[in-house]
Every structure is written in C-alpha cells, then in structure tokens.
Amino acid sequence: MQLSKKIPAVVNYSCVKGSVEIREIDLPEIGKNDVLLEVENVGVCGSDLHQWTSDHSWMVNYPVVLGHEFGGSIAKLGENVKNWNIGDRVVSETAAIIDLQNPMSKIGLYNLDPTRKGFGYGINGAMTKFVSTPARCLHAIPENLSFEEACLTEPCCVAYNAVVVNSSVSPGDRVLIIGPGTIGILCGAIAKICGAEVAILGLEKDKERLLIAKKYNIKTIINNASKWAKGKDGLGVDLVVDAAGVSDSLLIAMDLVRPNGQITKVGWGPKPLGFSIDSIVQKNISLQGSFSHNWPIWERVIQLLSNGSLDVKHIIGGIWPINDWEKAFREMYSGKIVKSILKPV
C-alpha cells in the first residue's frame, strides 16, 4: 500500500487558548519496536478540551497532535515486532513513552512512572490517519466490537481503575459519583456492574448528560445529593467517586461520605483548596487518587465491552470527520453530549 507522505492532523500548537487547528504533518516514522497504526476512530477526551481551552495543569510538548483514545488496523510493522500482523484490529494504551527500568514500571505500574509521556501531550497522538505506536501498547479487539466502541476502551479503563482497582465496592454498597462527564458516567456504569446502588450528581447545565446516565440505571441528582446520600441511616455513602474535574468538589465528597468510607478522586482539580480537610481525619475517611491504567485493566475492559456487560454506545453523541474537529469539540464542551468521536480521512 502506497502511503501519502503528508496527512492532516488536529494539532495543539501553543499554550494560548484556542491554539488548535488542522495542519499537514509528515507520515510518522516507526522504530524497530513500533507499528504504524491506521486510525479508524479516535475519541475526544476532556483533556483534549482542556488543552484547547488552555486550562490544563500538565506539561505539553508543543506542537503536538491531539488524541489518545483510539483504535485501528496495523499498517506496518517494525523489524523487531513479533506476534502481530498487518491488518490486525487493535486498540492502544496511552503510555507511549515509559522508562522500563523505573521501579513503577518494573512492577507493572508504568502508568505511575514519573517520566511517562502519553499520546496527545507528550508525543503526537491519534487525531490523524496514521500514528506510530509501541507494540507493547497494543491490545487485540474482537470482530464483534466496532471501532467506534473500541476507541473508548481508554476512558473505560480509567473508570475501571478508579472503581474496581483503587476503590473497594461490594454488592449493596451505595456509591455517589460527582460529575456526569464521560469518566463519571462510566464509573457509575462499572459500579453498577459491581452490584452497587449508584447515584450521580450534576448541575442544571448537565441535564442532557444526566439523561444519558439514566440509561445505565443510575439515579440522577441535580445540585444537592445530601438527601439521597444520607437518606438510609444519616451517615452518608460508602464511596464517593469525584470525577468533576474541579477542586471544590472534594468538599462535597467529604460531607457526603460516611465515617470510615472512601473518596476516590479521578477528576483533575488544578486550583488550590480553599477549605480545611480535617473531616478526612475526624471521619476516618480514606482519600485515594486514581490515575490512568495498565495492561491487565485493558484486557478486563475489552472483555466487558465485547461480551456486552459494558455498553458504551449510550455515551456516543456523534461521529465527525476529522476536518470537523471544532464542531465535535464544541458539542462536547457545551455539555450537550457526553462523547464526541472523530473519523480520520
């Protein structure tokens, strides 16, 4: 197959607000341990929107192609790549660069390697037709899983890590999710799979997204969840998953979690806290961060997606050609939809 030497890509080119545009980039070169992946679909993440609006809290290697939620078919193999074939259907993890000698990487927690660099901020991502991907990042996907669904494996893994790995959820537990974005709704869906009673808290502006949450049999609440959270015995819920992406939501979580309960924070909150966290001590609360994911999580999530236990079709608000990236970004940013997906051309 003859590949074009120039391909269009959605590029974040500076830290100035709105610095995203379509640019022609060179066809990526691949290393000995990489594959060239032909991207079929790529999800728009909240972090892509944060880089677009320049209110993110992480370092970005400008200019960079956005996109880290993606799947596609292998178009070319590096000379050292084994056990993969051209045409294989795959999804890719996000940890594009890791230090294999880092102590975290050595125990399989390469997502916590401080030198880790991911697609879409550290190196060029997948909002383009072809992306160079380390073979170690690849996971095979079955034929019954469409690329539109498969490209959302990554946010499902974020949610799985938050709820299953970094939290303790038992059947019958009461779980409150703060923030009805992609991650929040998926955290709720996975908590339901675990057998929990789940509610999700949003604002008036989140009404459209809360309607999507209802499709997962999650109770939806606007503005104040105190009545539901404390309605059983007055003490609060077993677990609060804070997926709101603002610092102040931690104050809500501390109020609504029961003594000896847990708060798992998966949403970024870059602003300093303007309140005391003494109730964490007084109520004996466990406060747990949750970041990214690793190999076994991806394999578990692909199984959930392929056997129908976890259905991501509900959160897909539309699919746009890559040239319409701005419309896809604005629809998601407005809160009208939960998830936008792009189709490279």
- Tell me the average pLDDT across 279-287: 97
Listed range (36-40, 52-56, 72-76, 300-304) with the worst mean pLDDT: 52-56
Listed range (62-66, 178-182, 271-275, 296-300) with the worst mean pLDDT: 271-275
Please tell me the pTM assigned to this model: 0.96
In angstroms, how far is the first alpha carbon of the chain from the final one? 16
pLDDT surpassing 80 at residue 2: no
The answer to whether residues 25 and 7 touch, using CB atoms and an 8 Å cutoff, is yes
pLDDT score of 196: 98
pLDDT score of 5: 84
CA 249/CA 50 separation, integer angstroms: 18
Under the banding of pLDDT at 50, 70 and 90, the label for residue 273 is: confident
pLDDT score of 7: 97
Which helix (H) or strand (E) segment holds residue 155: the answer is helix 153-160
| Other CB atoms within 10 A of residue 61 CB | 12
Under the banding of pLDDT at 50, 70 and 90, the label for residue 173 is: very high
Question: Token pair of 333, please?
Answer: 């940013």
pLDDT digits (tens, 9 = 90+) for 186-215: 999 999 999 999 999 999 999 999 999 999
Find, among 339, 299, 317, the residue nearest to 93 by Cα.
299
Say which amino acid occupies 281: V
Handedness of CA 164, 166, 170, 173 (dihedral sign): negative
Spell 295-305 as b/e; 16+ CB within 10 A means b.
eebbebbbebb
Q: Which domains does the chain have, with CATH numbers?
A: 6-152+312-343 (3.90.180.10), 158-289 (3.40.50.720)
Mean pLDDT of the chain: 96
Which helix (H) or strand (E) segment holds residue 183: the answer is helix 182-193
The answer to whether residues 199 and 223 touch, using CB atoms and an 8 Å cutoff, is no
Q: Taking each helix axis from N to C terminus, what angle separates 153-160 and 182-193, rounded to the nearest 10 degrees?
A: 60
Find, among 189, 192, 209, 193, the residue nearest to 201 by Cα.
209
Find, among 22, 71, 67, the residue nearest to 49 by Cα.
67
Say which amino acid occupies 137: C
pLDDT surpassing 60 at residue 1: no
pLDDT score of 345: 84
pLDDT digits (tens, 9 = 90+) for 73-122: 999 999 999 999 999 999 999 999 999 999 999 999 999 999 999 999 99
CA distances from 86 to 72, 208, 217, 243 (A): 11, 41, 40, 38
- For β-strands 219-222 and 197-202, DSSP reports them as parallel
The tokens 């459209």 sit on which residue? 208
Find, among 300, 328, 314, the residue nearest to 45 by Cα.
328
Question: Token pair of 245, please?
Answer: 């992406």
DSSP state of 58: S
Which helix (H) or strand (E) segment holds residue 227: the answer is helix 226-229
- Tell me the average pLDDT across 33-60: 95
